[in-house]
Amino acid sequence: MLPARLPKRKTDTGRPQRDRCPGHLAFVRQHGCCVPGCQGRPIEAAHVRTHGDGGMGMKPSDDRAISLCSEHHRQQHNVGELEFQRRHCIDMLKLAREFAAASPAWKRYLAKKAQGL
């Protein structure tokens, strides 16, 4: 039988792993692409790395996710986030904060985290 609470795993560098919330990512994917005027599909949860808590080869925490169609998600990685934001006149970090603030799953995750569960 597994213990009720497993200890947090650490990365190879010894740093704790980032916050993961599959329910929040599902919430993000329920929305349209954040690029104005885009109706592209499928929608993916794209992590915002600029000013994030990620590192080389590490995804940031899931509260840094926005909804992008697969084409724009690929473009985000190919041109870099600063250029992507400039091209599309969006603030990806602001959008990620808005998604996290509106997400019922992220609120539940934070409540459980605060309780130490």
pLDDT digits over 27-44, tens only? 999 999 999 999 999 999
How far, in Å, CA of 22 to CA of 35, rounded?
23
Alpha carbons 22 and 27: distance in angstroms, whole number: 9
pLDDT of residue 6: 38
- Spatial distance between the Cα atoms of 73 and 43, rounded to a whole number of angstroms: 9
The H-assigned helical ranges of 1-117 are 22-29, 70-79, 81-88, 92-102, 104-115
Query: Would you state the pLDDT for residue 5?
Result: 41
pLDDT at 13 over 60: no
- Which residues make Cβ contacts (< 8 Å) with residue 36, sequence separation at least 6? 88, 89, 90
Q: How confident is the model at residue 116 (pLDDT cuts 50, 70, 90)?
A: confident
pLDDT digits (tens, 9 = 90+) for 59-101: 799 999 999 999 999 999 999 999 999 999 999 999 999 999 9
Q: How confident is the model at residue 15 (pLDDT cuts 50, 70, 90)?
A: low
* Pairing state between β 43-47 and 65-69: antiparallel
- Rounded to whole angstroms, the Cα distance separating 113 from 109 reads 6
